[in-house]
Chains A and B, each alone.
Chain A
Amino acid sequence: MKIIVVVALLLALAGCVSVTKVDSGDRPVGDRLTVNLDGPWNQINAPNLGPAQTWTMEGLPVDQLLLYSGIKNEQAIHAERVGAASGATPKVFAFRSTMQPDEIVTLFEGMLTRDGSRFELVKLEPAPFGGGKGFRFDYTLTRKIDNVQLTGLGYGIVSKGELFAILYQAPKLAFFARQSARVEQLCRSARVKNI
């Protein structure tokens, strides 16, 4: 590989990519969502990551915390996808304000399985979130690209036609358990303004 190509690409991205520390305490996410953190997280900032904020503790290939704040009707829950999966039109997963919890979970399932990964819902139940009556779901995801088996959890609520949700997934072995209590705490602390 031409090293010059690598360097050029690195320089090109140097301005656009950063990882910032998210400190403990109250933290606004978008206009209407606030969460309270018991400790620091790493926030990935890069072009074309999608409408959710992406945080991590162990790095992108390992664990991801996705924070969705105020997703509007007809808005896609993922980045614009440049590589089409099998077919002429890439499938877009867009939220609709009329969606019920089961449909929202199906929406996330669709997004998470775009690349051939396998999703299995373990539990879906009503749960308080953001200060209102939301829902919570547990799932497993077998990642196609490298066969890693992930455990995931999510909370969500629709308020005034907008979607607020937090998802966390990490390898089933060792990693999910490491952060799950912190994530639960974070989700319990979530508050949606004017819910």
Chain B
Amino acid sequence: MPARLTRPELSTDEGGLWSLMDRQETQLRRSPFAVRDPQLNEYVQGITCRLAREHCADIRVYVVHTPLFNANMAPNGMMQVWTGLMLRVENEAQLAAVLGHEIGHYLARHSVERMRDVKSRAAFGQFMGLFGVAGAVGQLAVIASLFAYSRDQEREADAIGATLMQQAGYDTAEASKVWGNLLLEIQARPGYDEGRSSPMFATHPSPTERQETLKLLAELNPGGRTDEQTWQAKTAPFMLNWLKDETKRGQHEESVALLTRMIGHAPERAEFRFARGEVYRLRGSGSDADAALADYQSAVKAGNAPAETYRGLGIVYRQRSDAAAARENFQRYLEAAPQAPDSAMIKSYLEELGP
């Protein structure tokens, strides 16, 4: 473990980078996109500290409300974790894998190396966009791909990350799973282009080859915790909102791939089935309506389905002119969520359907 990083001289290039990141961090701290829930922040900061140990004091974690898989750490110790990442990992160990990897980049000062390397190319300002807060998410993916960490840096970060995971007692086998899962998801998109499908892959070279390395590292250090139950408990209050954000992304194929994996991993969780039902309903092509009905119904069967499940059922049945089924489900929705934003609209659908 290297010694704690000290703030570089203001006049150096590294100093300039830190200082710029400090100003970005101030903006992030004030941004409405920063998730302010203290318990969630404490939890993620806790995992980070377990990994970073004595460096914990230099790292500040921000959970950011963006429905994409991404985490990054700026050279000044500012760590961002996007809610899309929180949605996708299955347990604490998987989050630790990503955080550990980013801490690896930080400890090895890769971003400064990248910056110095960038000098031989162009548009440093775009590089800054990697750590920026504002800016269109879409732009980030495009410009970030120009400044991906090198393969050597990736290997180094993976190695450091695995070590940190292992020292913190996590099961390092979870690391290769995270990347494998993400790859599966983005490969589902028609005409997908790795670099531009996910901001994460824009800054990190494809994980396909790294998976071998990660598997090897895991074999060298078998055992360790996944803390899946803690993870589920801590993220439960936010899960439905993150799922809704995902369904609204409009990337139907990716969402279906993601949610299918999540349903397979945790078949008892009604909200995952509800979410996939929503995606099918919103896509609405071919036999999607049937698929939506099936998912909504299995969510109801699983128990504790979100109120919107009944709305979804009502809408599909209404589309099919099945008045009785539509009525029943709209009624259940209004009973379950009388204060829902669209309750007045659903009430009027109900009235149209007659007695």
B residues near A194, Cβ cutoff 8 Å: none
- A133-174 CB mask vs B (1 if < 8 Å, else 0) is 001000000101111010000000000000000000000000
B residues near A87, Cβ cutoff 8 Å: 189, 192-193, 196-197, 251
A100 within 8 A of partner (CB):
yes
Instruction: Count how many pairs of residues, one from A and one from B, have CB atoms less than 8 Å apart in the complex.
Output: 97
Q: Is the CB of A106 within 8 A of B345?
A: no
Known: A100-B315, A147-B32. A126 touches B344 (CB 8 A): yes
Q: Is the CB of B282 within 8 A of A125?
A: no
- Within 8 Å by CB of B137, from A106, A116, A123, lies A116
Known: A83-B139, A87-B196, A88-B196. A101 touches B189 (CB 8 A): no
CB distance from A53 to the nearest CB of B (A): 24
A69, B305: Cα distance in complex, Å: 39
A146, B30: Cα distance in complex, Å: 11
- Within 8 Å by CB of A142, from B33, B137, B250, lies B33
A115, B138: Cα distance in complex, Å: 6
A116, B68: Cα distance in complex, Å: 10
Name B139's closest neighbour in chain A (CB-CB).
A83
A142, B33: Cα distance in complex, Å: 8
B287 within 8 A of partner (CB):
no
Q: Is the CB of A86 within 8 A of B137?
A: yes
Interface residue total, chain A, C-beta cutoff 8 A: 34
Q: Is the CB of B136 within 8 A of A142?
A: no
CB distance from A136 to the nearest CB of B (A): 9
B141 within 8 A of partner (CB):
yes
Known: A113-B248, A147-B31. A124 touches B345 (CB 8 A): yes
CB distance from A117 to the nearest CB of B (A): 9
- Within 8 Å by CB of A116, from B66, B192, B250, B341, lies B66
Residues of B within 8 A of A (CB): 27, 30-33, 65-66, 68, 134-139, 141-142, 189-193, 196-199, 248, 250-251, 282, 315, 318, 341-342, 344-345, 348-349
Residues of A within 8 A of B (CB): 83-89, 91, 93, 100-102, 106, 109-110, 113-116, 118-119, 121-126, 135, 142, 144-147, 149
New contact pairs (19) apart from A123-B341, A142-B32, CB-CB < 8 Å: A84-B138, A85-B136, A85-B141, A86-B138, A87-B197, A88-B191, A88-B192, A88-B197, A93-B250, A100-B315, A102-B342, A110-B250, A116-B136, A116-B137, A123-B344, A125-B345, A126-B344, A145-B136, A147-B134
